[in-house]
């Protein structure tokens, strides 16, 4: 399996995130991608290529132009004030406030963020831009005939909406790749999000559309981030009604319970008749993940990959979460190896 990877992810290394009432070292760190890359090499999964640069146009097909302009220029504006620390929001347009776009940097950051978990540093824009190009390059490989490809993206993307960053995510790599498939003539794209946390950004981008099926298996938002999206009754709206399926599960769910939800999601993908499957590959469902509550073990990821292979569709894997850093490479590559083994049968 071809892996696309960029060293540019090292340019983004936040000093802290706001969690549990305090500023903490970021769980989303460069060593995550480093461990995955090393495992890809150790297991001889296949060639590792650098991304091509497809420019801003594919990003603009998913993300609001003003949002991209803000994100690209935020760090320069921050340093113009003489600041050197991470740029983090401290106010948001909540329910009783007007959703207007202020002129101040801090006001705009609050407008374009939904939490305090997406710090902007000197290299964040370039790292996120390159991650999107990683996804687009892997997408292009499949469009040119590859049965599968792995986009080793960092930072992750599935929490990023068209004009919102948050949850470690700035640009929605999976959504950008899905839209690229559609723009190149594919009729139906299915997104399977297996990250522990609901892909709220991806859902919102495609919620009113029928050309993208979104399915997500995740911790129940009654108790888990992002809290305000990911419930089972969210089925899409307008033309998208019936093309959105969430499978929220309780804390402590093991492979037996999780895989039952996977069967339901795969059944929906089959009914949809997808041309392509895009997998938002988060492995924070692992039993030892520090910020998640499922109980999957490393061998379960082989079975996960094999079941996805059973769909019989060209498949793009896009790296999302996973914060048990020492195990992230084993678990992510197990999915990919399970997929290859399942595809060969």
Q: Hey, which residues are catalytic here?
A: 159
The DSSP bridge partners found for residue 151 are 4, 318
- Which has the closest alpha carbon to 279: 331, 214, 340? 214
Neighbouring-strand partners of residue 149: 2, 316
Closest CA to 244 of 294, 191, 282, 297: 191
Q: Which helix (H) or strand (E) holds 333?
A: helix 325-344
Burial class (CB in 10 A: 0-12, 13-18, 19+), 345: exposed
| Half-sphere exposure of residue 314: CA atoms within 13 angstroms, side-chain side | 19
- CA dist 332 → 7, 218, 325 (Å): 18, 17, 11
Contact, 320 vs 154, CB < 8 A?
A: no
How far apart, in whole angstroms, are the C-alpha atoms of residue 80 and residue 202? 33
Supply 136's token pair: 């687009």
Question: With contact defined as beta carbons under 8 Å apart, do 139 and 181 qualify?
Answer: yes
**Helices 124-143, 65-80: crossing angle, 10 deg rounding:** 150
Structure tokens at 98: 């007007």
Q: Give CA 238 to chain center in angstroms.
A: 25
């Amino acid at each position: 399996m071809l892996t696309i990877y960029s060293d540019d992810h090292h340019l983004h290394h936040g000093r802290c995130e706001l969690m549990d009432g305090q500023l903490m070292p970021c769980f989303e760190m460069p060593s995550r991608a480093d461990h995955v890359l090393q495992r890809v090499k150790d297991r001889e999964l296949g060639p590792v290529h650098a991304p091509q640069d497809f420019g801003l146009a594919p990003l603009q097909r998913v993300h609001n132009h003003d949002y991209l302009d803000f994100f690209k220029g935020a760090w320069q504006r921050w340093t113009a004030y003489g600041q050197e620390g991470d740029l983090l929001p401290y106010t948001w347009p909540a329910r009783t406030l007007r959703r207007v776009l202020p002129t101040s940097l801090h006001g705009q950051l609050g407008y374009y963020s939904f939490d305090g978990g997406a710090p902007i540093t000197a290299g964040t824009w370039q790292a996120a831009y390159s991650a999107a190009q990683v996804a687009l390059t892997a997408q292009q490989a499949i469009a040119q005939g590859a049965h599968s490809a792995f986009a080793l993206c960092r930072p992750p993307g599935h929490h990023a909406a068209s004009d919102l960053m948050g949850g470690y995510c700035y640009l929605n790599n999976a959504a950008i790749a899905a839209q690229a498939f559609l723009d190149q003539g594919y009729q139906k794209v299915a997104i399977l999000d297996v990250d522990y946390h609901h892909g709220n950004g991806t859902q919102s981008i495609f919620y009113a559309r029928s050309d993208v099926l979104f399915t997500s298996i995740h911790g129940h938002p009654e108790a888990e981030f992002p809290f305000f999206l990911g419930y089972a009754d969210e089925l899409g709206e307008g033309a998208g009604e019936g093309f959105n399926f969430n499978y929220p599960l309780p804390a402590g769910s093991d492979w037996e319970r999780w895989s039952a939800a996977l069967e339901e999601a795969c059944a929906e993908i089959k009914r949809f008749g997808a041309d392509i499957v895009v997998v938002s590959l988060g492995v924070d469902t692992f039993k030892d993940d520090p910020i998640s509550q499922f109980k999957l073990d490393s061998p379960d990821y082989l079975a996960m990959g094999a079941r996805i292979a059973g769909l019989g569709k060209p498949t793009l894997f896009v790296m999302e979460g996973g914060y048990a850093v020492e195990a992230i490479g084993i678990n992510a590559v197990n999915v990919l190896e399970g997929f290859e083994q399942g595809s060969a049968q």
